[in-house]
Amino acid sequence: MMEDYGIERILELLPHRYPFVLVDRVMKVLPGEKLVALKNVSINEPFFQGHFPGKPIMPGVLILEGMVQAVALLLGETHPVEMHDRLCFTGIDKARFRVPVVPGDQLIYEVRIKKQRSSMIKITGEAFVGARLVAEAELMVLIGGQK
């Protein structure tokens, strides 16, 4: 198991930059198995300007994007050499949004490798606020799928 780490290491592993970095801290990594990360949801997020005025709710697609970024971090720690090639996200199945995420929430992403065949990987992703499940999905990734 690896120690937790902050934004400096996250920015080393992800190509994303402001305003599209949706992971603030990695809390736990078991390379080849699981990663737990968090996102502090602030009213200062640019997407809250239009989603929705007077009733800010984090867009579900951005919760999924945060899960995908957590997957990229897990795979960056699991397959560091192969990460020089691109990751190709090939699908999202069984996405469910259970509870709205609002400013002030601390979103916890848990992603787990479920199955791997050659360079194709299936991952389960869950997002929590406290102990409450707010979203879940199955994600498919191809390592080295595009150059």
- The set of catalytic residues is 51
User: Cα separation of 77 and 71, whole Å?
Assistant: 10
SS3 76: helix
Q: For residues 101 and 129, is the Cβ–Cβ distance under 8 A?
A: yes
Residue 15 — φ and ψ, nearest 5°? -80, -15
Place of tokens 């469910």: 96
- Within 8 A by CB and 6+ apart from 6, the residues are 24, 25, 26
